[in-house]
């Protein structure tokens, strides 16, 4: 089976779940990335031979074709040339922008939602609540139970909807946290829905009784400078460290030497929500307890009081208390982490996620 994988961006650091699809799906994957008329096929200089491109451009100009005609014509030729059997589109809004192509490509289409694409109000309005996407899709994938319900409310037929949580890469399961340092770690983009300022405010209370504690924050984003200014204002510069973007190896090292992952996700004012944060699954796979919020798919993969602690969104005091509890109950925190590792290995491993997606694509081609 040949699979065409469409993504709006090429290999962004925060989209490791898409890279997992590209790497671990068992069949040949052709990776189309970009938006509008800038879509490219990874590993190829051009989508179509130069003479084909020239012909399509002439037709577009002479017959005053719509702007998407040139893109669609080239992509359809490319799909035929590579004998594509199934199409996997990452993000619902990307599928919406490609709908004219998808409606005419005669391939089964699986649309994979991830988070903001199922929740941001302006995107839902621009995409007309995905009516066209639901109609053209063979299967629609949701990564959390909350998202699954959101898509049902928008009108996705129940028989097309598939719940399939991400899975962390297997190397995270080999981590053995040492729990030696009073160190918390936060890993993720500095975005509105991540609310990275809340862990900082919670951590300030921790320092009142544990002045040697550390908070390491990895990632980049629009709120990074705001958080740096907050740390400076609170005189926490010796206790809070900003690491920037970290790779998989650095992430594993951070999880090895921390006592918990902290993430205070919230629903942003524009409606933006998480799917199921992969950083949380990676931390649980590593054997760390997770301190997070009752938000989106987080309660699907973190069992409150067993594999971590979950507070309400915006409840900084509760998060601070859970951070304090972790430092003062290290043995219990180790047990929480061990339970989280077992849970991820049994129910949320990457092999299971990929197998479900693989079977979905195979079933779509047969039907």
pLDDT band, residue 35 (cuts 50/70/90): very high
Same domain, yes or no: 149 and 213: no
Q: 2: which strand partners?
A: 28
The residue segments making up the domain with residue 33 are: 2-166+349-366
pLDDT band, residue 337 (cuts 50/70/90): very high
Same domain, yes or no: 45 and 128: yes
Between strands 214-218 and 183-187, the pairing is parallel
Query: Model's pTM, two decimal places?
Result: 0.95
Same domain, yes or no: 114 and 249: no
Question: Percent of the chain at pLDDT above 70?
Answer: 100
pLDDT in tens, 109-120: 999 999 999 999
pLDDT band, residue 11 (cuts 50/70/90): confident
Same domain, yes or no: 253 and 330: yes
Same domain, yes or no: 98 and 178: no
pLDDT in tens, 260-293: 999 999 999 999 999 999 999 999 999 999 999 9
pLDDT in tens, 302-318: 999 999 999 999 999 99
Same domain, yes or no: 312 and 327: yes
pLDDT band, residue 220 (cuts 50/70/90): very high
The CA-atom distances, in angstroms, between 62 and each of 36, 56, 59, 66 are 21, 10, 5, 11
pLDDT band, residue 45 (cuts 50/70/90): very high
Alpha-carbon torsion (205, 211, 212, 217), positive or negative: positive
Q: Kindly give, in sequence order, each residue whose CB lies less than 8 Å from that of residue 307, ignoring residues fewer than 6 positions away.
A: 284, 289, 290, 336, 337, 339, 340, 343
| CATH number, domain with residue 288 | 3.40.50.2000
Same domain, yes or no: 141 and 228: no
Alpha-carbon torsion (350, 355, 360, 361), positive or negative: positive
Residue of 66 and 266 predicted with greater confidence: 266
| Structural domain total, the chain | 2
From the list 129, 61, 78, 127, the residue with the least C-alpha distance to 98 is 127
Predicted local confidence at residue 13, as pLDDT: 72
Cα gap 134→128, rounded to integer Å: 11
- Rounded to 5 degrees, what angle do the CA atoms 104, 108, 113 make? 100
Same domain, yes or no: 160 and 233: no
Residue with tokens 């996407």: 133
pLDDT band, residue 14 (cuts 50/70/90): confident
Averaged over 148-175, what is the pLDDT?
A: 97
Same domain, yes or no: 39 and 140: yes
Predicted local confidence at residue 318, as pLDDT: 98
For helices 330-347 and 278-286, give the axis angle rounded to 10 degrees.
110
pLDDT band, residue 155 (cuts 50/70/90): very high
Same domain, yes or no: 21 and 49: yes
Instruction: Collapse the DSSP code of 155 into the 3-class scheme (helix H, G, I; strand E, B; otherwise coil) and give the result.
Output: coil
Radius of gyration over alpha carbons of the chain, in Å? Answer: 22
From the list 205, 209, 352, 195, the residue with the least C-alpha distance to 268 is 195
Same domain, yes or no: 174 and 319: yes
Cα gap 24→11, rounded to integer Å: 15
Cα gap 309→234, rounded to integer Å: 26
pLDDT band, residue 49 (cuts 50/70/90): very high
Same domain, yes or no: 228 and 290: yes
Predicted local confidence at residue 67, as pLDDT: 80
Using CB atoms within 10 Å of the CB of residue 75, give its burial: 0 to 12 exposed, 13 to 18 middle, 19+ buried: buried
């Amino acid at each position: 089976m040949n699979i065409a994988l469409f993504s709006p961006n090429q290999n962004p650091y925060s989209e490791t779940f898409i890279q997992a699809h590209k790497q671990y799906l068992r069949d040949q994957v052709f990776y189309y990335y970009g938006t509008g008329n800038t879509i490219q096929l990874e590993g190829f200089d051009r989508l179509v031979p130069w003479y084909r491109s020239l012909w399509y451009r002439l037709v577009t100009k002479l017959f005053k074709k719509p702007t998407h005609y040139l893109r669609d014509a080239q992509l359809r030729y490319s799909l035929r040339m590579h004998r594509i059997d199934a199409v996997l589109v990452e993000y619902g809004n990307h599928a919406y922008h490609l709908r004219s192509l998808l409606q005419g490509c005669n391939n089964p289409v699986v649309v994979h939602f991830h988070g903001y694409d199922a929740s941001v109000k302006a995107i839902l309005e621009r995409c007309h609540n995905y009516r066209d996407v639901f109609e053209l899709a063979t299967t629609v994938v949701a990564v959390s139970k909350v998202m699954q319900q959101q898509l049902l409310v928008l009108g996705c037929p129940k028989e097309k909807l598939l719940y399939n949580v991400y899975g962390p890469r297997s190397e995270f399961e080999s981590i053995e946290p040492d729990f030696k340092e009073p160190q918390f770690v936060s890993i993720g983009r500095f975005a509105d829905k991540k609310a990275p300022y809340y862990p900082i405010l919670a951590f300030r209370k921790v320092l009142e009784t544990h002045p040697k504690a550390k908070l390491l924050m990895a990632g980049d984003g629009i709120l990074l400078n705001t958080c740096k200014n907050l740390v400076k204002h609170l005189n926490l510069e010796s206790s809070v460290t900003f690491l920037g973007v970290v790779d998989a190896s650095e992430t594993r090292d951070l999880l090895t030497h921390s006592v918990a992952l902290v993430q205070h996700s919230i629903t942003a004012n524009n409606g933006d929500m998480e799917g199921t944060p992969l950083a949380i699954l990676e931390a649980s796979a590593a054997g760390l307890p997770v301190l997070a919020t009752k938000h989106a798919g987080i309660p699907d993969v973190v069992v409150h009081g067993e594999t971590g602690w979950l507070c309400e969104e915006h409840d900084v005091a509760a998060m601070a208390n859970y951070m304090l509890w972790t430092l003062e109950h290290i043995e219990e925190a180790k047990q929480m982490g061990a339970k989280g590792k077992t849970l991820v290995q049994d129910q949320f491993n990457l092999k299971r996620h990929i197998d479900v997606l693989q079977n979905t694509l195979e079933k779509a081609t047969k039907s």
